Amino acid sequence: MVAQIDNEIVGHILLTKIQIIGNEIYDSLALAPMAVLPEFQNHQIGSALVRAGLKKAKDLKFKSVIVLGHKNYYPKFGFQKASNWQIKCPFEVPDEAFMAIELIKNGLENISGIVQYPKAFD
């Protein structure tokens, strides 16, 4: 998704299908990347993109979204540490920066494991 002002793209968000590999394989989405041009930051454009992205993910029947991001930014949308569900990043990251959100009630219930990103993330 993109944000435009006067036909200029000023921000974007991408949600990519991932899997959480545990006792079973669970489909989820990764929110990455999300960016807003510096001169348009602090105008709620990023927030609007995140909200629109989460709504679209829910509309597409996904139950959760994972993000590796700023610990003070994403919790305002409902993201919590992924470790709360025993969901782990496949590489070393600070616990508070690797987060998940349930798009439906109990969307991550009984789900745990290691996130597997597509090859493009390597």
Residue ranges covered by each domain of the chain: 2-121
CA distances from 114 to 21, 33, 87, 89 (A): 5, 20, 6, 6
Note the CATH architecture for domain 2-121. 3-Layer(aba) Sandwich (3.40)
| pTM for the predicted model, two decimal places | 0.95
Per-residue confidence in pLDDT tens, the chain, 122 aa? 999 999 999 999 999 999 999 999 999 999 999 999 999 999 999 999 999 999 999 999 999 999 999 999 999 999 999 999 999 999 999 999 999 999 999 999 999 999 999 998 88
Using only C-alpha atoms, the chain has a radius of gyration, in whole angstroms, of: 14
